[in-house]
Amino acid sequence: MRARRLALALTAVAALTLGACSGGDDGAGSGGSDGATAGGGSGEKIRIGIKFDQPGLGYQDGSEYTGFDVDVATYVAGKLGYEPDQIEWVQAPSAQRETMLQNGQVDMIFATYSITDKRKEVVAFAGPYFVAGQDLLVAADDDSISGPEDLEGKNLCSVTGSTSAQRIKDEYAAGTNLLEQPGYGECVTALVAGTVDAVTTDDIILAGLASLPANEGKVKVVGNPFSEEKYGVGLPKDNDVCADVNSAIEAMIEDGSWQKALDDNVGASGYEPNDSLNPPTVEACA
């Protein structure tokens, strides 16, 4: 009888010891992947949502994932205890991001995800890790366009379903002629061909497109943003990792890794972010 009790006690002690080494309660949010926790752990994975089709930000090429969002996510995951091979990259289309967090399909999202009050009703945000603004992409030798007001009577391209081009027509230049394309790649092709005079969306997205080898030296970002978009890290509403993510973003900014990631991914375009907003000031978790 005493031997049986001793065996049970030893089993309980072993279980407690293993629990103490597994990262405790520093979880990566509710509905995480295979028990993903801040602090990582042997064999654990963290699922991170990114865009797969935004060069310079989140881009998939076979089994390789590149871009500023990818680099920031990798750095943050590292601070949470995850090695790069423990990251599972998941495509996060804009319209599905809230649902993916609510359903536990991902632990966090880095996907040009603007922080808004409406979104904060259903998900949480860490960050911001970048502040973007709507801007214009024009031909490299075009000095006639310095802002949206200069598009009167000119041709402007944006993607189907986007409100950014219509905003210019409604608020800045009513005589702008709008051309919609399925993707921004097609818009840039039209710009290089001279079919349109400008392309519009967030400045860093434009910079990523301009940094592609095929576009280098042919196009440029005007550099006069006329909106403010705070890119945050999307998290489940009920999470206990927001403060750790914020600390990681601050560390990335302080040690120079943030600037290096920006330069590596969009520097070839000549783009320089608004230095009054970037690097951003990380906000307190709400």
Count of C-beta atoms within a 10 Å radius of residue 1: 5
| Helix (H) and strand (E) counts in the chain | 8, 13
What value does the CA radius of gyration of the chain take, rounded to a whole number of Å? Answer: 22
**Alpha-helical segments (H) within the chain:** 2-20, 68-79, 97-102, 164-171, 184-193, 203-210, 242-254, 257-266
3-state class (DSSP) for residue 207: helix
pLDDT of 286 reads 73
Query: Is-contact 214 192, C-beta < 8 A?
Result: no
Note the pLDDT tens digit of each residue in 83-96: 999 999 999 998 89
DSSP state of 84: G
Tokens linked to 108: 């966090």
**In this predicted model, what pLDDT tens digit does every residue of 206-262 receive, in sequence order?**
999 999 999 999 999 999 999 999 999 999 999 999 999 999 999 999 999 999 999
Which uninterrupted H or E stretch holds 138?
A: strand 134-139
Q: Quote the pLDDT of residue 33.
A: 44
Amino acid, single-letter form, for residue 266: V
Predicted local distance difference test score (pLDDT) of residue 163: 84
Place of tokens 């210019």: 168
What one-letter code names the amino acid at 110?
F
Q: What is the pLDDT of residue 35?
A: 42
Q: Residues spanned by CATH 3.40.190.10 within the chain?
A: 46-132+229-269, 134-221
CATH number attached to the domain at 46-132+229-269: 3.40.190.10
pLDDT tens digits for the chain (286 residues)?
334 443 434 344 333 333 333 333 333 333 344 444 555 555 699 999 999 999 999 999 999 999 999 999 999 999 999 999 999 999 999 889 999 999 999 999 999 999 999 999 999 999 999 999 999 999 999 999 999 999 999 999 998 878 899 999 999 999 999 999 988 889 999 999 999 999 999 999 999 999 999 999 999 999 999 999 999 999 999 999 999 999 999 999 999 999 999 999 999 998 989 889 999 999 999 7
Q: Which residues contact 169 (CB under 8 A, 6 or more apart)?
A: 156, 176, 178
How high is the pLDDT of residue 104? 97
Q: What CATH fold (topology level) applies to the domain 134-221? A: D-Maltodextrin-Binding Protein; domain 2 (3.40.190)
Side-by-side strand order, sheet with 87-91: 87-91, 46-50, 108-109, 229-236, 123-132
